[in-house]
Amino acid sequence: LEMARGTAVAERDLRTRFMNQVSHELRTPINTIVNFAHILAQGEMGNVNPKQTDYLGRIEKSGWHSMSVLNDLLDLAQIEAGEFRLKRQIVDLETVCEDAMSSVRSLLRNPEIALVRDYPDKWPRILVDSKRFRQALLNLLGNAAKYTDGGQIILRVRTYEHTATFAVEDSGIGIPAEHHETIFQEFRQLNEAMARQRVGTGLGLPISRHLIEQHGGTLTLNSTVGQGSTFTITLPLAPSPASIESDAESDAANGRTTAKHATPQPVAPKRPI
């Protein structure tokens, strides 16, 4: 048994080293391509005519796209290997949401689409890995931008009892009911001809669902063809600072030294809620 365990660990280390190597080997040239195309397009090395500017722009865009596919594949490999780790803490959700909303503006198919914020007066407190939460939110907003030709995209944040919800609602093409589960599988894109027009790999939703489930939450879909889609992230609220303190007090009163929560929770900033 010990030997088998040793072999499994060696295999995992080898796979991790291989993935790191491949990622380095691909990232370095992609960075070179993107950066030099950018420098040339800026005219820093001499004048460029409109056609050259167009070509350089395409090189840069394709480079960024390759980088994002590479990142998705690496995320997927990590998820499959069960090696995905989150760094959870209380984050400023308004900043994260605003950040995602401003990034999505450049992805809109039509600049007249309204980006609507439906935010609460009091933001929920949740423990998230801010980079990963932002990644999931951006995937949903990016999809909404890709599959909406007019109307609006709404980001609606709410608190219901012990959960916070983040709904991305669009007035786009919608998704037929029979595909509501399949689109969460890897490499699934609905309409191949359309998918070819709209850049993508079909990894965004499976990765996003995994990221949210790792946080103890869910990612669900409601959609009607021709009317639009709503993807909703639901996450548990963080225990309130008061309840953490009273847990600690009762533990101390009981003479217990072990923490009540199985996983170590970052200490929430003490501010009135």
Ligand X SMILES: Nc1ncnc2c1ncn2[C@@H]1O[C@H](COP(=O)(O)OP(=O)(O)OP(=O)(O)O)[C@@H](O)[C@H]1O
Residues lying near ligand X in the complex (CB under 6 A) are found at: 72, 139, 143-144, 147, 170, 172-173, 175, 183, 188-190, 195, 200-205, 229
The H or E element containing residue 271 is none
Residue from 126, 133, 143, 175 in contact with Mg ion (CB under 5 A): 143
Q: Tell me which residue of 235, 216, 211, 214 sits closest to 135, measured CA to CA.
A: 211
Task: Record the tokens describing residue 142, joined without a space.
Answer: 């990016």
Q: Which is nearer to ligand X, 60 or 239 (CB)?
A: 60
Q: Which is nearer to Mg ion, 186 or 247 (CB)?
A: 186
Q: Which is nearer to ligand X, 124 or 228 (CB)?
A: 228
Q: How many CB atoms lie within 10 A of CB 78?
A: 16
Q: Are 156 and 222 in contact (CB under 8 A)?
A: no
Greatest Cα pair distance in the chain:
77
Phi, psi of 150 (to 5 degrees): -160, 175
Residue 170 binding target from Mg ion, ligand X, none, CB below 5 to 8 Å by type: ligand X
Per DSSP (E only), the strands in the chain are: 89-90, 114-118, 127-128, 152-160, 163-170, 218-224, 228-236
Q: Which is nearer to ligand X, 44 or 192 (CB)?
A: 192
Minimum distance from residue 64 beta carbon to Mg ion (Å): 15
Minimum distance from residue 194 beta carbon to Mg ion (Å): 13
Residue from 204, 206, 228, 239 in contact with Mg ion (CB under 5 A): 204
Q: Which residue is nearest to ligand X (CB)?
A: 204
Minimum distance from residue 244 beta carbon to ligand X (Å): 36
User: Residue numbers of the site for Mg ion (CB under 5 A)?
Assistant: 143, 204
